[in-house]
Structure 1
Amino acid sequence: MEPETRNRRAKDALTLGGSLAVFAHRYAYVDPAQAVAIEAAFESVDPAPFRDRPDDWFHADIAGSGLFADVRPVSFRRAVPLTTAAYQALVSTFSPQLRRPPELRERVLAAVGAAVDGFGGTVVLDLRTTLVLGRRPA
C-alpha cells in the first residue's frame, strides 16, 4: 500500500482505543560465509542492486503518521535452519523475487539452491521479528 494510504486505512479499521499490531521479519545469515556465497549467487544471476529498507522503517512509518498513540516496537531474534528447498520457498515470497520475470526467478532459485547445497544443504538464518504496537486514540 502507498504510504499515505496504509496508516489511514489501519486507523479507520480500528475502534476508538483499538490496538494496531504489525509484524515484520528481517533475515540475515548466522554464518558470514553463507551470507557472502548466497549474495554472490543472487548477483550472478541478477546483478540489479537490491535496495532494502532500513530495519525500523515500518516503526518509523507508523510513529511518524501521527495517527496512533503509544507506538512501540518489541523485537525477537532466533536462528532458523532451513533446507535448500525451504530456503528456496522462502526466497520465492520476497518482493524482489516476485517482481522478477518468471524465467529469471527460476534462475535465481537455482543459483541460491546451489549455494545452499554447497554448505551441505542447510542455511541458518538470523531471523529478526519486530512487532510494532500502536493504539488508535480515543
Structure 2
Amino acid sequence: MLNQILNSMFHLNIQLKEVNNKTKLIYEPGLLDQQLKEQIKEYKTQLIERIEENEAAMKLGFLVFNHGQVYEYRFGLGSYIYIERLPNGLSSAWRENFMPKQQQAYKTKTIIQNAPFNKVYQEAEKFICWLNKQQRKKVG
C-alpha cells in the first residue's frame, strides 16, 4: 500500500515535508482527492520514514528505484551493492560483480538478509565506509 501511495504522490507531484515539526503536503489545488488525502494521513509516519531513508541513501550515493523498494550503489567498474525491500516487510543487501558486457554477475556475496531495513542499511553503509577507507589507503 505504501508504494501505491508513493506512486500516486509522484505522478501528481505531491510532496510531503516536515517543517518545524509539522507535516505539510505541497500540491497543486484540485489534484489531491479525499481518498488519497486519507491514505496519506493514515500512512503519514511510514511515508515520512521512507522519504527520509531515500534521502539519506541518495546522500550516501545510492540510486533509489521504485520509491525505495530497491537501492543500488556502484563502487567500482562492474561492482555494485544492492538493497531490496522484501514482500515480508524485511530487507536484504548483497554485492555483485559483473564482467564488461555481461548481464549475469560472476560473483554475488550476501551482506545481510531478511532483516529490518534500518539494520540492512547500516550494514551496507558500514561496507561502503570500509571501501572508502581502503581507497584512501591506496591513494595516501
> What TM-score do you get using the length of structure 1 for normalisation?
0.23
Relative contact order higher in (CA < 8 Å, ≥ 6 apart): 1
> What TM-score do you get using the length of structure 2 for normalisation?
0.23
